[in-house]
């Protein structure tokens, strides 16, 4: 883009062939080194004076550049206030305001440099090289800023959501321009095994939104499907056991599922996904090594999984232990099968038998 603009602008114009010739002649002449130290000191003082005169001559241009940057800052604050009022979602308004401020600052800096240099086309190449160097050196912050912009416009997660990004799992606490901070929730391999807060805070860069899968458990629908498995021995009446387990789960959590199931069905209908949603807990059977696993599937709030799984396990244990189910529902237990082989007739006994 810089090269194209330079080609369209024609590049910086030369001051003339005569000036170029004078510069070449000046370069060809040997450098005169004063022999007297006093003359060298006088020459140095003269050089410093010339530099000061140049700086003094640049003061008006520097003041103009400073005024341009100040005006850009004031205009950016005004536009930020207007954009926040215009957008209903605060995150999206903040992202648009940030982009607007960056554009104003870049425009003001470019205009200031053009005023100082005296030729915008001459400064264009230098600005392009500096921008290329900064983009290479600040690659990671730029990626994090891009991730923040994408999250602001696309709404991958917001403050209060329960998310999982890479190895991070918890509730979003703060979203900054470069980082996101969450309250960690427990899980396998952590100090708290259940999906409950551990008390720790984790901060990760926003470029994770570009490189990792983002799992949001509470953005559009704050409920998740959960399961509790009960092992039933093979001597049990499987159909009877499944009916008892389903009735117990319906009594414990069935009422809380009705409203959530309707909301889930409406959400899928808006997305044109025709799925059958169970409004009550369901029981599914699967074969294990020497028993049958009965899995109760139910819908529960994302932050209440451990609470309701505990309540359901306690209720199921109390129900199975009732006398009326004796002999029909037998809990599964680990079993070991031992087979005794009889020695064939006529075979000599080995020592120790």
Give the pLDDT of residue 170.
Answer: 93
The structural domains of the chain, with segments of one domain joined by +, span: 50-137, 156-216, 223-325
Q: Which CATH class is domain 156-216?
A: mainly beta
The CATH number given to 223-325 is 3.30.70.100
The tokens describing 244, both together, are 């008892």
Strand 223-233 to 214-216 pairing: unpaired
Give the pLDDT of residue 111.
Answer: 73
Under DSSP, is residue 174 helix (H, G, I), strand (E, B) or coil? Answer: strand
Residues of the chain with pLDDT under 70: 1-41, 44-45, 54-58, 83-84, 87-95, 113, 116-138, 343-353
Closest CA to 175 of 99, 90, 104: 90
Burial 285-295 (b: 16+ CB within 10 A, else e): eeeeeebbebe
Q: What is the dihedral of CA 186, 192, 194, 196, to 10 degrees?
A: -60
Rounded to two decimals, the pTM is 0.62
CA–CA distance, 272 with 176 (Å, rounded to integer): 35
CA–CA distance, 251 with 228 (Å, rounded to integer): 15
- Residue 6: how many CB atoms within 10 A of its CB? 16
Q: Which residues contact 280 (CB under 8 A, 6 or more apart)?
A: 246, 250, 254, 257, 258
The tokens describing 195, both together, are 């999906």
Q: Where are the beta strands (DSSP E) in the chain?
A: 162-165, 168-175, 179-185, 197-205, 214-216, 223-233, 282-287, 291-301
Contact status, residue 164 vs residue 188, Cβ threshold 8 Å: no
Q: What is the pLDDT of residues 294-310, one digit of tens each?
A: 999 999 999 999 999 99
Give the pLDDT of residue 127.
Answer: 61
The tokens describing 258, both together, are 């009705």
Residue 106 sits at the vertex; the CA angle it makes with 100 and 109, to the nearest 5 degrees, is 140
Strand 162-165 to 223-233 pairing: unpaired
Give the pLDDT of residue 19.
Answer: 45
């Amino acid at each position: 883009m810089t090269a194209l603009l330079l080609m369209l602008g024609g590049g910086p114009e030369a001051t003339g062939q005569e000036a170029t010739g004078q510069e070449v002649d000046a370069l060809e002449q040997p450098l005169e080194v004063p022999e007297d130290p006093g003359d060298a000191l006088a020459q140095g003082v003269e050089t410093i004076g010339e530099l000061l005169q140049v700086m003094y001559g640049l003061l008006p241009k520097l003041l103009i550049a400073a005024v341009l940057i100040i005006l850009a800052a004031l205009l950016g604050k005004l536009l930020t206030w207007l954009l926040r009022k215009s957008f209903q979602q605060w995150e999206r308004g903040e992202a648009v305001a940030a982009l607007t401020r960056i554009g104003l600052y870049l425009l003001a800096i470019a205009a200031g440099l053009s005023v100082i240099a005296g030729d915008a086309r001459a400064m264009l190449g230098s600005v392009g090289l500096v921008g290329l160097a900064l983009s290479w050196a600040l690659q990671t912050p730029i990626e994090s800023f891009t991730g923040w912009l994408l999250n602001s416009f696309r709404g991958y997660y917001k403050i209060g959501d329960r998310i999982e990004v890479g190895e991070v799992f918890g509730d979003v606490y703060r979203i900054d321009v470069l980082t996101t901070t969450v309250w960690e929730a427990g899980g396998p391999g952590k100090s708290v095994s259940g999906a409950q807060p551990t008390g720790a805070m984790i901060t990760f860069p926003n470029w994770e939104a570009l490189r990792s899968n983002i799992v949001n458990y509470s953005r559009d629908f704050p409920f998740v499907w959960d399961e509790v498995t009960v092992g039933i021995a093979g001597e049990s009446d499987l159909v009877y056991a499944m009916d008892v387990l389903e009735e117990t789960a319906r009594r414990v959590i069935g009422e809380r599922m009705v409203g959530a199931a309707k909301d889930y069905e409406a959400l899928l209908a808006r997305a044109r996904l025709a799925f059958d949603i169970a409004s009550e807990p369901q029981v599914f059977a699967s074969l294990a090594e020497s028993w049958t696993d009965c899995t109760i599937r139910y819908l529960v709030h994302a932050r209440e999984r451990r609470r309701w799984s505990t309540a359901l396990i306690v209720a199921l244990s109390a129900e199975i232990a009732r006398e009326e189910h004796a002999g029909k529902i037998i809990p599964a237990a680990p079993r070991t099968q031992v087979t005794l082989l009889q020695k064939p007739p006529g075979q000599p006994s080995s020592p120790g038998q």
